[in-house]
Structure 1
Amino acid sequence: MLHHAKLDKRFWAEAAMTAIYVKNRLPSPKIEHKTPFEIMYKSKPSVKHMRVFGCRTYILIPKEKRLKWDPKARGAGGDQSRCQLR
């Protein structure tokens, strides 16, 4: 995942957490083609919120912290920011 997304090795923990998160939302033949998420929460998981690992992200700048012609968002991730998006 890190190599494909062209990310530095320091993101290995995020890559591992993402892989586990996705795996828990994939059907398994060992549990009657249900997902671990379905077994635990008794409902099908949504995947609408998922994005490509390593894709560019943006942080919304609140109205109170920007002037009329200022940008509404700024890029996040990579070396620009140390925030973790969830």
Structure 2
Amino acid sequence: MLHHAKLDKCFWAEAAMTAIYVKNRLPSPKIEHKNPFEIVYKSKPSVKHMRVFGCRTYILTPKEKRLKWDPKARAGLFLGYEEVSKAW
């Protein structure tokens, strides 16, 4: 993942956590073609929010924290998922 995203080795922890997040949402033949997420939460996980590790993303600056002519967002890189929200 790091090589494909052309990222430095210092991002190995983020890459590992993202790989675990994705793996936990993949079906497994050992557990009746269900995934660990489905077993724990009793529902299928949504994959609509998933993105490619290292892709370009934009970070929104809240309206309260910017002036009228300030940019609404700044460029960034996708480095993983939040466990408690659908934010990246």
Give unmatched runs, 5+ long, in structure 1.
79-83
Aligned residues: 81
Two-structure CA RMSD over aligned residues (Å) = 1.9
Residue 68 of structure 1: aligned partner: 68
Residue 47 of structure 2: aligned partner: 47
After TM superposition, the structure 1 stretch with the greater mean CA deviation from structure 2, 36-45 or 55-64, is 55-64
Q: Percent identity?
A: 86
What TM-score does the superposition give when structure 2 sets the normalisation length? 0.81
Residue 81 of structure 1: aligned partner: none
Give unmatched runs, 5+ long, in structure 2.
83-88
Instruction: Answer yes or no: is the 8 Å Cα contact 2:18–2:81 preserved in 1.
Output: no
Cα distance, 1:61 vs. partner?
Answer: 1.4
> Which residue identity does 1:42 align to in structure 2?
K
After TM superposition, the structure 1 stretch with the greater mean CA deviation from structure 2, 55-64 or 69-78, is 69-78
Which structure exhibits the higher relative contact order, with contacts defined as CA atoms closer than 8 Å and separated by 6 or more residues? Answer: 2
> Which residue identity does 1:5 align to in structure 2?
A
SS at match of 1:74: strand
Separation of aligned partners in 1, 2:12 and 2:5:
12
Residue 21 of structure 1: aligned partner: 21
Cα distance, 1:56 vs. partner?
Answer: 1.5
Separation of aligned partners in 2, 1:85 and 1:38:
18
What TM-score does the superposition give when structure 1 sets the normalisation length? 0.83
